[in-house]
Amino acid sequence: MKRHLGFLILTILFGARNLPAQSQSESQPQSQSNNHHPVVNIYVLRTAEQLQSPHVVTYRVAEWEQMRGRWIFPDVAYYDSGYGKDQLWLAGGGADVLHSKHLDWEQELYILQETGPESTNKRFVWLWPVLDFRFRPRLTAQVVPYPTLPLNRAQGWAFDIDRAKIEWAATSHWKTGAGYAGGVTASSSCQPRPFLTVTRATRAGSFEVWVQHISGGAQVQLRYTLVRGEN
């Protein structure tokens, strides 16, 4: 498993070096000023594996969303804890709230339902903002803080940071940076998970690798995003 993961990381980082990077307009669709809003499809795949033995998969995510101008709908996703025993199904939508020289704010709302063999039938809402900051042309940051609002007694409240990262674009193809993830719940204290990140942008999509500290060791995350417009 460890050999396979190492090979996959090398393939992601170096295998697509001859492909030109996605343009800014392609990787970050903007609201259209005219009456015609082309449909943009966004596909997201994520997974992670512990670096220490027994190298278990810690989570998997598959997501699809559409953007029409400033509106985001539908947005559907699947999450599990690595082997399908604890699953979450998500559905939601939102909008681009703000575009400025130094800040973009995208806001979504998700409704989530827990399923799977280890499910306790949790049902809850995520309020999911994505804040993109531009300090300089090559220096950017992204922050995604979100509360968990319970819809039944099985789920408690929580507040998490999916990612708070700062990145430096060495070229149009490569970015590197560092960040923080973590959160608190009604039953536990803050659980910090800092990480280092490298991103490779190509016409085949954006490939991001995290090396992240977690409780009991470390993990590698692979995050893939593909943005495609419809003719």
Which residue do the tokens 């033995």 mark? 53
**Contact criterion met (CB below 8 Å) for 224 and 58:** no
Averaged pLDDT for residues 157-170: 97
The per-residue pLDDT for 2 is 45
This prediction has a pTM of 0.83
Q: Which residue has the higher pLDDT, 88 or 191?
A: 88
pLDDT digits (tens, 9 = 90+) for 67-87: 999 999 999 999 999 888 899
CATH 3.40.50.300 assigned to 2-229: no
Q: Is the pLDDT of residue 4 over 60?
A: no
Angle at Cα 29 formed by Cα 146 and Cα 48, nearest 5°? 50
The confidence band for 35, taking pLDDT boundaries of 50, 70 and 90, is low
Q: Any idea where the domains of the chain sit in the sequence?
A: 2-229
pLDDT digits (tens, 9 = 90+) for 171-210: 999 999 999 999 988 777 788 999 999 999 999 999 999 9
The confidence band for 15, taking pLDDT boundaries of 50, 70 and 90, is very low
Torsions phi, psi for 12 (to 5 deg): -65, -45
Q: Which residue has the higher pLDDT, 26 or 155?
A: 155
**Contact criterion met (CB below 8 Å) for 165 and 135:** no
